[in-house]
Structure 1
């Protein structure tokens, strides 16, 4: 007759709960989670106790199938823990060890309880390994998905912060670009610039590429798309910050921006003032003429 591993495991968890939990606490304290300072010991113990109880409840009717309905509260709890750890900056190893570190205390408890019955010991060890391995994989899947979401959101925020639209004068905007332009970032640049043109009723937009490391055919295409979109909104564009090295590269590649360009933003700003019927004069010179 085959021994029921789930029953052996559930009985061991129930009868030896205090010892298993204490051994698990010790293992968690020796890990890097507490040492990193990202979580308090009391919170870690609360999480461990809740997971332990939900594991025992899941075994009661779900057997060793960690995907069964009876394990739903445990899976949801572990998912919440994984997501919070992804946001808090825990490593994948720290997150996975929260579940996998429970193995050794359970195996030791099974050895104490079933040392005289080899079949019961084997069944219990198999059941514990099957359940904890599946839960550990679930924890890692949620953690990695949450980490990718955090990285994606941070990338979007960085892209928005690195493309500020600055109001230089009435009707004159400046868009200083830093870093490489790609399709995704061009969309952010275009959206920010067009919204600023509408908000400020701008006539001229200066796109400064001093911080762009290199301009190739693809980057030029992205710039032209931005310029074309700005023109559709009624604003002329001036490109500034084309360094000698970039100018040579563009000539060799045969890249044509087909837009007014200036070497520096100062030159572009002076041109923008002239095109809007303004000029800047020194105060002393103005007073002498008077």
Structure 2
């Protein structure tokens, strides 16, 4: 898809000699496709940056987008794609900002006159623009995927808050389906909170989990084991009658893990265990359980 050194030189000379005219027309075409979603000043600056980067890449001999000499052009296109993805533009709207250069070139090159050299220059320039457009499309897709992945990770973190209920007691209320990815986040956040607070008890509340199957139970059990390795005991709360029946039917064993019907019951249990531990150590605090 490349062009010769001579074609690159002529294209670079055209961009330089017709700079203002090309930037003006290029900006107009892109603005029409974006329907006012960017300010004219911002769009014009973006087009100028593309124009300048393209001219620099063409002025270094035979054009090759993968070459080191085109590094600035690649960076400019990648940054534009990233910004457009963040701003909510579509892949088509982003790529059109590059392809619109063709229409601007038509106004500069007198193709209608039938001049063979002008037509040849336009064909060569079109090959370059097509390559830039495809590169932009690919970078946009990559930026969009990264953005979606980041947003998904943020949602996972927001959907798994760890809260301190009492001195020595933290809780993590789960809402929705607990898949492998979310279970990993749950475990990491819970263990990190246990380290930060030094809490000996953690409550895993599954009141908001619509159903408990073998996979969900395994995720919970792994989290409990990991917490025990950190020196903390877990209490599972939110065991509704329907979930209890499902657990029995599936033959799932929670072993010696304490389970409670509600979060309040789990908190009372944790406080009783804390007070019992303090009394056995001779440091009992009267009224701790009653304070719950």
Name the TM-score, length of structure 2 as normaliser. Answer: 0.84
Q: Structure 2 matches for 1:222-237, cutoff 5 A?
A: 222-237=219-234
- For residue 132 of structure 1, report the CA deviation from its aligned partner: 0.9
Structure 2 equivalent of residue 288 of structure 1: none
The aligned counterpart of 1:91 is: 90
Q: Distance in 1 between matches of 2:263 and 2:30?
A: 57
Residue 228 of structure 1 deviates from its aligned partner by: 0.6
1:163 and 2:163 are equivalent in the alignment: no
Aligned to 2:267: 269
Q: Alpha-carbon deviation of 1:176?
A: 0.8
The separation in 2 between residues aligned to 1:184 and 1:232, in whole angstroms, is: 21
| 1:208 alignment partner, one of 200, 205, 208 | 205
What corresponds to 2:178 in structure 1? Answer: 181
Cα distance, 1:114 vs structure 2: 7.2
The CA distance in 2 between the partners of 1:10 and 1:193, in whole Å, is 59
Cross-structure match for 1:27 = 29
CA deviation map 1:114-167 (0-9, x unaligned): 73323x244223212211111112212222222222222222222222222211
Q: Distance between the aligned counterparts of 2:160 and 2:175, measured in 1?
A: 7
Structure-2 separation of matches of 1:87 and 1:146: 8
Q: Which runs of 5+ in 1 are unaligned?
A: 283-290
Match of 2:46 in 1: 47
**How far apart, CA to CA, are the structure 2 residues paired with 1:167 and 1:141?**
45
Q: Secondary structure at the match of 1:175?
A: strand
1:13 aligns with 2:15: yes
1:128 aligns with 2:120: no
**Worse-matched range after superposition: 185-194 or 64-73:** 64-73
Q: Which moved more, 1:153-162 or 1:53-62?
A: 53-62
Q: For the structure 1 residues 50 and 202, does the alpha-carbon distance in structure 2 shift closer, same or farther, using more than 3 Å as the test?
A: closer
Cα RMSD, aligned residues only? 2.6
Question: What secondary structure does 1:177 align onto?
Answer: strand
Q: How does 1:77-156 map onto structure 2 within 5 Å?
A: 77-110=76-109, 112=110, 115-118=113-116, 120-156=117-153
CA distance in 2: counterparts of 1:42 and 1:147, whole angstroms: 25
Alpha-carbon contact 1:23-1:105 (below 8 Å) kept: yes
Q: Does 1:70 align with 2:69?
A: yes
The residue matched to 1:31 in structure 2 has which SS? Answer: helix
Deviations 1:55-103 (A, max 9, x none): 2332233434333343222222112222222233322222111111111
Q: Distance in 2 between matches of 1:156 and 1:106?
A: 44
Q: State the 1:40 CA deviation.
A: 2.5
Q: Secondary structure at the match of 2:52?
A: helix
Aligned equivalent of 2:289, options 275, 279, 285: 279
State the 1:197 CA deviation.
Answer: 2.0
CA distance in 2, matches of 1:163, 1:50: 43
Query: For structure 1, which segment, 2-11 or 245-254, has the greater mean C-alpha deviation from structure 2 after superposition?
Result: 2-11
Count how many residue pairs are aligned between Structure 1 and Structure 2: 276
In 1, the alpha carbon distance for the partners of 2:155 and 2:56 equals 45
Identify which range, 94-103 or 175-184, moves more after superposition. Answer: 175-184
Q: Indicate conservation of the 8 Å contact 2:30/2:97, yes or no.
A: yes
Specify the SS of the correspondent of 1:72. Answer: helix
